[in-house]
Structure formats: C-alpha cells, structure tokens
Amino acid sequence: MAKIGYKDDSAVVIIGSGAGGGTLANELCQKGIKVVVLEAGKRHTIDDFTNDEWAAFGQLSWLDKRTTSGNWRVAKDFPNLPAWICKTVGGTTVHWAGASLRLQAHELQARSTYGEIDGANLLDWPLTLEELEPYYAKAEDKMGVTRTNGIPGLPGNNNFKVMYAGATRLGYKEVHTGRMAINSRPRDGRNACMQLGFCFQGCKSGAKWSTLYTEIPKAEATGQLDLRPQSHVLRIEHDDSGKASGVVYVDKDGNQQRQAARVVAVAGNSIETPRLLLNSASSAFPDGLANSSGQVGRNYMRHMTGSVYGVFDKPVNAYRGTTMAGIVQDEAHNDPARGFVGGYEMETLFLGTPFMAAFLDPGAWGAEFAGDMDAYDHMAGMWLVGEDMPREGNRITLHDSETDQYGMPIPNVHFDDHPNDIAMRSHAYRQGSAVYEAAGATKTIETPPYPSTHNLGTCRQSAKPADGVCNKFGQSHDVANLFISDGSQFTTGGAENPTLTIVSLAIRQADYIAEEMGRKAI
C-alpha cells in the first residue's frame, strides 16, 4: 500500500469507498494514478461478518444522527434513520442485495419521455444509454453479473418459487432469478453463493460483489492506493483560483488532518456528499462548494419502494437463500395508462425474524400483528422498487442547531411523496398482492418503505450548469477538479437498483479523469 504525504498534492483524493468511490479508486490505480481514499468507517473482513441481523446492523450501518421531515412515512417510523446504508470500507456494497440492472433508454430521457409533470423537477440526463452501454458491459464483467458474460443465473429459492408461480399465473412473462452480482459458481477468486440468507449482513460466502474484497485489494496490489479507514471528512478546501486543493478530515485517532489533492472525488452517498459540499461553503462559494446552481442537496430521490408479504397455508421458509432471489420485470416499462409515469420492478426480498418484526408494520402492536408474525415461516415477500420523481423541495440540508461528534452540522432529509410515487406504489401493492393471491395466499400485507438504501440525485448531472451540479462525467460545473462519483449524480432514478449504474459511471469517470490529468486540464 502506498503512503502518500499530507502535503503531496499529486494524488486523487476520493471520499468514500463504496460502489462509486471504491470502483473509481481501483480504476485509477490500475492506470498508475496515485489515490488516497478517505473512508469514515472501519475496515472489516469477511470473517468479521455475522449472521445476526441486529448485531450486523450495529456493526455496519451509518448510525450517526440524521433528522427527517416531510410527509414520507419513514419520517414517522424512523425519524433519525432516513437511510439504511453503511459506514465501513466497502460502503453499502457490503449490505446491498446484488441486483444489477441497466437503466432503460427512456429513463435517461425522463423529461422528454414523461413531459412536464407538476411538482417534479424532471430533466434529461446529459448522457444516453448508447454512451453508457460499453461501461455497463465492463461493470457486468467486473462484478460477475449472472445472466451476462455466460454466467449462469442463480438457482431460485423457496421465496422465488412462490413469486414465479403467482406471477406466471397472472400472465407475467419476464420472471427469473435476476441479474445478480452474486457468483452462481466460483469466479474472480470469489466463492459461489452458499444460499446463506444473510446478504444484507455482509456476505460470508464472499460470493456477492463488494468493493471491500474486490476493488480495494486490487487497487492496493498496484501500490498506488493509500486507504485511510475511520477518516471522517469535514470539508473540502479550494485555492484562490477556485480549484479544489485539499480535504480536511478527522483521522482514526481523532486528530484533524489536511490532505492536499490534485483532484477530489466525492462518493459519500446522496446524503453525505451534498452535506459535505454544503459544509464546504467559503467566501468564494457562499452557498456551498459547486453550488452556483443552488441544486446541491436538492432533487433527493430514494425510489418508490414498498413491500408485499403473502401468507400461505403451507410453509415457505422464505428466509433461506439469497435475500433478493428473483424478479418480475413486466411492470418496469413506461405506460402512463396505468396512472403514473415510469415503471417499477418486483423483486423477492425476505428478512429474518428480528427485522421482520421491526419492519413489517413499524409501530404496530396487538393481536393482529402478532398473528402475522406467527405466520412467519408461511410467508413469501417481495420488494417493490420504481422510479420516483425528483423534486426541488426534497432535499438534504444542514441542521441549523444540531452537530455531530466532530462539530459538523448533521443533515436533515426532507422528502414528500409525489402523487406519481403514490399512484405507482398503489399499483405495485395491488399487483404484488395479486401475484401472491394467484399463488394461493390467504392474506397479503402491504408493508411501508424501509429506510432508504437507494439514495440518489442530490448533485445531479445536467447539460446546463444552471440545472444541476455536474456534467456527464460527474465533473462539477463550478470546480473543474471536483467530481461527484456516487448516486448523487443521477439526474433521475429510473426503476432499477442503482449500483450497476454507479459502478459503470465510476469506470467511465476514471477514463475521463485520467485523460484530463494527462492533458493537464486538471
């Protein structure tokens, strides 16, 4: 591993080590570029992971206090936990389920396709699917996505069998075990899936792609990476010419450090990334770094989500095997005749008893809830995930009085469901229930959204600097050597789980950074 001096201003400093930051780091190191990665969390190994939901939650989650506002139900159920994401080397790739889907062409042209929608701040991406496709192909190969590159699909578990039976009886055609970055057979030095049922707790099979044990060690092997876990970034500094010049952080021993930088790439997820830019305000950038558009922190998206559980007479034991074991894609297209724009995916999902109790109907108590829990091993479950509308008022702001353990203002996450989100969720609940009824369910349960794992849009790409924060390479419009490298750069969310797109954008961004550094433009 490289040791890069604090005053050495020749390296790319990346904040965050998840899907965006971890991938970008490895791609740059492979090109011979020096990289410092500052990661707020600790470095764990696969051996550290535990098959225990609450223990793993405490081990891996970002639990620093956040506040919430708005009419979304998460603000009521989990007022200080708007997002279920990680604070660890590897970021949320340690926790994610592995679904790896490409955006659809029309989703990158949301404004043109859906037209003007009241209360939505829709915009086309400055990027087409055609431009992204070569990078999607690289990402799928890197991550070992099933049903690509000749990699077989995963075998379906019990939960998938119920989904498949119901969905096909309902007439759905695109029903299978998904495109998953989980090895169905050993590949790239990683094992095959053991069907543990603990994807969210850190994959002890090592079968699921995570930057923690793929990109990060590969980057270290080049000798170009200086990874600094437990480094909590406070602000990004700039020089008199308005270029990013260094990053101030608190290190693992609690000491404040300043790392000089040639380029700064922010990949702290869609809550921490805008928080950091807003907290980096200066006299030259009074509204926050790279925020001349006023869009930093705005257009926060978290996907239309919800879950449906079906209760059956016979046992399902759906907790066994991959958490996200199958998908129905027939509702993923755009068909405004359904009463909403955009589409959604139906993906199996199941939780252990501890988390089922916590998330099935947050706040519920009494005989009916207990009766539902009594049916735990007779249940099948699916997660509904679809495109939500970007709204200017849905935003991350700095709290005006509360600060974290380092004295940095905590973030507030404001979210109001758009009527389109509610129409889509209602449709998805009905269709999800119909799937389980077709498979013989005696009861179906509509479960509200969990804290967000898909946090998107708060530093979005735009063709015009006035409409967003960065260009189609994630380069900020205002500061040439400052990049957005995570899901914050999504202009719109699409229906698909975002990780594959984040990884693809990071690979593409690495090519661009290397070129721009090569020609001394940054």
Partner 1 sequence: MERRIKGMNRRQFLQTSGLTAAGTAFAAPLLTAADRAWAIELSGALDQHTADTLLKMVRRLYPHSTLSDIYYGYVVEDLDRAAKSDEQVAKLLKDGVKKLDRALQIDFLDLSDGYQLKVLEGMSDSAFFEKVRSTTIVSLYNQELVWRHFGYEGASYPYGGYINRGFDDLAWLPEPPAEASPPKQS
Query: Where along the sequence are the contacts to partner 1 (CB under 8 A)?
Result: 50-55, 152-158, 160-162, 164-165, 175-177, 184-185, 192-198, 204-205, 314-317, 319-321, 326, 352-354, 356-358, 363, 365-367, 369-370, 373-374, 376-377, 439
Alpha carbon distance 351, 213 (integer Å):
25
Q: Which of 250, 260, 293, 252 is nearest to 274 (CA)?
A: 293
**What separation in angstroms does the CA of 241 have from each of 70, 436, 520?**
39, 60, 16
Helix, strand, or coil here: 347?
Answer: strand
CB of 321 to partner 1, least distance (A): 4
Closer of 236 and 351 to partner 1 (Cβ):
351
Closer of 441 and 513 to partner 1 (Cβ):
441
CB of 316 to partner 1, least distance (A): 6
Helix, strand, or coil here: 381?
Answer: strand
Closer of 6 and 54 to partner 1 (Cβ):
54
DSSP 46-98: GGG--S-HHHHHHHHB--S--EEESS-HHHHH-TT--B--B-BTTGGGTT---
CB of 358 to partner 1, least distance (A): 6
- Give the position of tokens 């080049």: 222
Q: Which of 390, 372, 389 is nearest to 381 (CA)?
A: 372
Which three-class secondary structure string do you get for 467-490? CCCECCCCEECCCCCEEECCHHHC
Closer of 32 and 152 to partner 1 (Cβ):
152
CB of 69 to partner 1, least distance (A): 19
Query: What letters, b where the CB count within 10 A reaches 16 and e where it falls short, cover 404-432?
Result: beeebbbbbbbbebbebbebbbebbbebb
Closer of 193 and 507 to partner 1 (Cβ):
193
Closer of 376 and 490 to partner 1 (Cβ):
376
CB of 185 to partner 1, least distance (A): 4
Q: Which of 387, 389, 391 is nearest to 295 (CA)?
A: 391
CB of 217 to partner 1, least distance (A): 22
CB of 313 to partner 1, least distance (A): 9
Closer of 249 and 319 to partner 1 (Cβ):
319
CB of 155 to partner 1, least distance (A): 4
Strands (E), 251-294: 256-260, 263-266
The CB density around residue 336, as the number of other CB atoms within 10 Å, is 12
The answer to whether 439 touches 202, Cβ cutoff 8 Å, is: no
CB of 210 to partner 1, least distance (A): 16
Closer of 164 and 309 to partner 1 (Cβ):
164
CB of 423 to partner 1, least distance (A): 30
Strands 12-15 and 263-266, by their bridges, are parallel
Closer of 85 and 207 to partner 1 (Cβ):
207
Assigned token pair, 97: 């389920």
Closer of 42 and 161 to partner 1 (Cβ):
161
Q: Which of 420, 431, 219 is nearest to 339 (CA)?
A: 420
The answer to whether 100 touches 327, Cβ cutoff 8 Å, is: no
Closer of 190 and 302 to partner 1 (Cβ):
190
CB of 142 to partner 1, least distance (A): 20
Identify the H or E element spanning 385.
strand 379-386
